[in-house]
Amino acid sequence: MNRTDIAKLQSMQAYPSISLLTPTHRTAPENEQDPIRIKNLIREAEERLGQEFSKREYGPYIERLEKLAQQIDHRYNLDGLVMYVNQDYEDVYKLPFAVEPRVVIDETFYTRKLVLAMNRLYNYWVLVLSLEPTRLFEATRETLKEIDDGTFPMPYSGPGEIPRLRNEEGVPRASERDERVRKSFREVDRVFGEYAKNDNYPLVVCGVERYLTLFDQVTEHKNRIAARVAANYVDASPHYIGERVWPEAKAYFDQKRLSHLETLEAAMKERRVASGVEDIWQLAKQGRGQLLLVEENYHYPAVTEQDGWVIRPAEDPTAPGVIEDAVDDVVEEVLSKGGEIVFLEEGRLEEHNHIAMVLR
């Protein structure tokens, strides 16, 4: 799941829109219980729908949920799973992060926690350049999911097809052959831009040296490229590719984190830094957040005062009216106002009470 998927889900509005979320497991014997967990969530959804609709009205929704559940291959589970069904749409997404079991029935699909969780992860794209054909993957750490939707894998055909241009010896002319490849990769780059337009994830490009060079000559996304891997992965499995590209992507993320810490240090000298979630809360709502840095796994249950403009720690995180995690709310606020989010290892922001914001 990427931000394009989430934007599509968020645009749908119909009642009832059913969202089922559950943690799953990658290996046996734990994953043997995952189908039972999903079945129990479907029963819960059925009970809740039965309180508002007749069986004739809600029955088709339950049938579609059950059909989706039967299609899941639990041998290839990740850490979480979400199922969506409304009158016009149905799909299942496997997630590389855990989610709390939950049934949500509303006018829209439940996506907020997915957005927030994705911002805490190492997300990037992987493009495997080839003439037979080019492949695109969504990646989280070493886990890759291939885009297979009729556009990608993207064949080398149509306007980019290599013509039978020959020199006197009957060999295709290299300059014209390379121009055809560039033309094809230019189209790959354009279409990739449509997939990636709603996120700022970096890109790892794979291919033989010649393809990497030709792609560099035409891409409009050079600033997004985190690494170039000179290898032929045309027929490789996502697992095989992921194990080999993740170290390259991780090196990029590590370097980026260091640069953000340097940005924080420079902003401190200019007194443009707020520390601690209580101080940051109001500044984020005012749109002052340029760059938010948060330690991984830092959470802050809170209650609000003064019409939501002030927060303080919650004595009982389970009490009614408590914000489950004010950090998530701050992340969402900064993102919605065009700020950037960076998550760091635990302990890196201890002097800032685990969270710091560079101000505009």
| Termini Cα distance of the chain | 31
Low-confidence ranges of the chain (pLDDT < 50): 158-167, 171
SS3 label, residue 244: helix
CA distance 242 to 238: 6
101: amino acid identity, one letter: P
Instruction: For 25, list phi and psi in degrees, rounded to 5.
Output: -135, 145
What's the confidence (pLDDT) of residue 51? 93
What's the confidence (pLDDT) of residue 169? 55
CA atoms within 13 A on the CB side of 36: 4
Question: How many angstroms from the chain centroid is the CA of residue 284?
Answer: 23
Give, in degrees to the nearest 5, the angle at Cα 247 between 243 and 253.
Answer: 130
Longest dimension (CA), the chain: 84
What's the confidence (pLDDT) of residue 121? 79
CA atoms within 13 A on the CB side of 170: 0
Check: CB of residue 285 under 8 Å from CB of residue 339.
no
SS3 label, residue 37: helix
Query: Based on the number of CB atoms within 10 Å of its own CB, is 155 exposed (0-12), middle (13-18) or buried (19 or more)?
Result: middle
Helix (H) or strand (E) holding 330: helix 326-336
What's the confidence (pLDDT) of residue 170? 52
Q: In what order do the strands lie in the sheet with 273-275?
A: 273-275, 355-359, 289-295, 340-344
Q: Report percent pLDDT > 90 for the chain.
A: 64
Domains of the chain: 3-118 (3.30.960.10), 123-254 (3.30.420.60), 272-359 (3.30.1330.30)
